């Protein structure tokens, strides 16, 4: 029986785009070094979702067609089984931050607490492209959103501390970056990822702290 790979869209930006050796060890040998994720980001995520839920898409960008923001889709979404350009099987599995329900189509939006920089489009494009495929081609017991017309990241960057009711409050800058839908690019990318996993172990990355420790053992 041929192996069926499982990928989470978020791992492309946070793992694959980083150290290829550590990503290989994680996926092939199930060796993962977990670093604690600051709980403040989870709290910010909840606050963002509560604020934007059921509001107009114009709050994200005036360039988005009118629709209603939904942030309450808490289920883990699973895609159907895909094949890469070499016929190797995989499926996608993960959660989204938000989507916009328009009259005849959907937009999928990912919230990012990060510095506002257009280079974030390159960093997170594969994550959003994967989300589109997950929802247009869902697996069993997953919802189907079709068509997914727009993809984008909505960046939040702390900008200043202002006083409100005699208490300090963070002022956030926001910026929406659209990501162009390109399924062909995504399937080529998945072929590249699986090529890495089925090839020889990558060399250690001299910039990676985990690799430096590994080389000392």
Per-residue pLDDT tens, the chain, 217 aa: give them.
579 999 999 999 889 999 999 999 999 999 887 777 788 888 999 999 999 999 999 999 999 999 999 999 989 999 999 999 999 999 999 999 999 999 999 999 999 999 999 999 999 999 999 999 999 999 999 999 999 999 999 999 999 999 989 999 989 999 999 999 999 999 999 999 999 999 999 999 989 888 888 777 6
Q: E-assigned strands of the chain?
A: 4-7, 68-70, 77-78, 82-83, 89-94, 98-101, 106-113, 148-164, 167-179
158: Cβ–Cβ under 8 A, 6 or more apart, which residues? 170, 171, 172, 173
Report the predicted TM-score, pTM, of the whole model to 2 decimal places. 0.93
Give the residue extent of every domain in the chain. Answer: 4-11+38-193
The CATH class of the 4-11+38-193 domain is alpha beta
**pLDDT attached to residue 217:** 67
* Distinct helix (H) and strand (E) counts, the chain: 6, 9
């Amino acid at each position: 029986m041929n192996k069926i790979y499982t990928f989470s869209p978020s791992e492309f930006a946070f793992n694959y785009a980083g150290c290829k050796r550590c990503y290989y060890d994680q996926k092939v040998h199930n060796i993962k070094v977990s670093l604690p994720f600051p709980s403040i980001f989870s709290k910010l995520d909840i606050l963002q979702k509560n604020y934007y839920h059921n509001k107009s898409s114009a709050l994200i960008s005036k360039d988005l067609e009118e629709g209603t923001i939904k942030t309450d889709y808490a289920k883990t979404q699973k895609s159907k089984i895909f094949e890469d350009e070499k016929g190797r099987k995989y499926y996608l599995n993960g959660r989204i931050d938000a989507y916009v329900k328009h009259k005849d189509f959907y937009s999928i939006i990912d919230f990012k607490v990060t510095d506002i920089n257009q280079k974030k489009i390159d960093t997170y494009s594969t994550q959003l492209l994967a989300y589109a495929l997950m929802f247009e081609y869902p697996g069993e017991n997953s919802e189907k959103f079709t068509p997914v017309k727009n993809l984008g990241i909505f960046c939040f960057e702390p900008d200043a501390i202002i006083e409100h009711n005699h208490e300090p409050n963070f002022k956030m800058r926001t910026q929406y970056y659209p990501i162009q839908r390109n399924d062909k690019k995504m399937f080529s990318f998945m072929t590249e990822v699986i090529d890495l996993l089925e090839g020889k172990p990558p060399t250690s990355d001299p910039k990676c702290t985990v690799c430096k420790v590994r080389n000392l053992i």
